[in-house]
């Protein structure tokens, strides 16, 4: 199909499609004449994936480029690749993560104990574990260190969700399909869980504080 048709099918404006091609997110169309390129279903699918990561996942164009490169790298075994994708999908924190104080040390110890207690098999440099420690340290600095009491309950819920995620992904037999499912699920799953948590909070809060009223 021509670029105009690709734009109609996906709802992505033509200049935006051209921008994604220039940034290397979308492979160029096949030249059918010197100034006309032809696009196929693969382009359409990739374009929808880019939009999902951008609009629902809130990833930057650069981060999406990294994630797509890891999907397209056929050399890596599936598990390594999932690890790489998960590492790249960890949100980056600003200065909070770098501050080296007593709270940072305490938070890292706390995370190490949690990993040990749950028997999670993680590489020592796991980026998500670093992000968790940074979040806990930041809580400590703001005077809400006791929020870390909820860590076990959160970890139990996270394990439950992760098992569902991987179970969903494992039903896909095609390699690219599997990795794409994990990437989409990881990014969109964050948004889904955050929304559900707020909905459940409103319900629980109305039962606790509003004596039978509705929000």
Q: Residues 39 to 78: which contact a second copy by CB under 8 A? A: 45, 48-49, 51-52, 54-56, 58, 77-78
Q: Reduced to 3 states, what is the DSSP secondary structure of residue 38?
A: strand
The answer to whether residue 117 forms part of the interface with a second copy (CB under 8 A) is no
The answer to whether residue 205 forms part of the interface with a second copy (CB under 8 A) is yes
CB of 181 to a second copy, least distance (A): 7
Identify which of 47, 51, 53 has the alpha carbon closest to the alpha carbon of residue 67. 53
Q: Are 50 and 25 in contact (CB under 8 A)?
A: yes
Q: What is the x/- site pattern for a second copy, positions 146-175, by CB under 8 A?
A: xx-xxx-xxxxxxxxxxxxxx-x-x-----
- The beta-carbon contacts of 211-215 under 8 Å, at least 24 apart in sequence, are none
Stretches 25-33, 63-71, 142-150: which one binds a second copy (CB under 8 A)?
Answer: 142-150
Nearer to a second copy, 29 or 181 (CB): 181
- 30: β partners: 38
Stretches 22-30, 32-40, 59-67, 195-203: which one binds a second copy (CB under 8 A)?
Answer: 195-203
Distances in Å between the Cα of 63 and the Cα atoms of 19, 91, 214 are: 15, 10, 41
Nearer to a second copy, 22 or 45 (CB): 45
Q: What is the DSSP letter of 97?
A: G
Q: How far apart are CA 65 and CA 92, in angstroms?
A: 16
CB of 213 to a second copy, least distance (A): 7
């Amino acid at each position: 199909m021509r670029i105009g048709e690709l734009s109609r099918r996906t709802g992505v404006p033509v200049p935006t499609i051209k921008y994604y091609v220039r940034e290397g997110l979308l492979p160029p169309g096949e030249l059918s004449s010197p100034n006309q390129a032809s696009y196929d279903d693969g382009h359409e699918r990739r374009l929808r994936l880019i939009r999902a990561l951008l609009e629902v996942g809130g990833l930057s164009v650069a981060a999406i480029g990294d994630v797509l490169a890891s999907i397209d790298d056929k050399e890596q075994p599936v598990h390594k690749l999932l690890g790489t994708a998960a590492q790249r999908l960890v949100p980056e924190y600003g200065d909070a993560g770098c501050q080296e104080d007593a709270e940072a040390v305490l938070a890292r110890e706390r995370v190490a104990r949690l990993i040990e207690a749950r028997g999670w098999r993680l590489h020592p440099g796991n980026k998500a574990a670093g992000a968790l420690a940074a979040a806990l340290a930041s809580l400590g600095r703001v005077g809400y260190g006791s929020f870390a009491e909820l860590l076990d309950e959160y970890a139990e819920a996270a394990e439950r969700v992760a098992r569902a995620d991987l179970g969903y992904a494992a039903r896909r037999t095609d390699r690219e399909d599997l990795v794409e499912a994990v990437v989409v699920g990881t990014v969109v799953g964050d948004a889904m869980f955050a929304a559900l948590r707020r909905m459940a909070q409103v319900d629980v809060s109305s039962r606790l504080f509003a004596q039978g009223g509705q929000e």
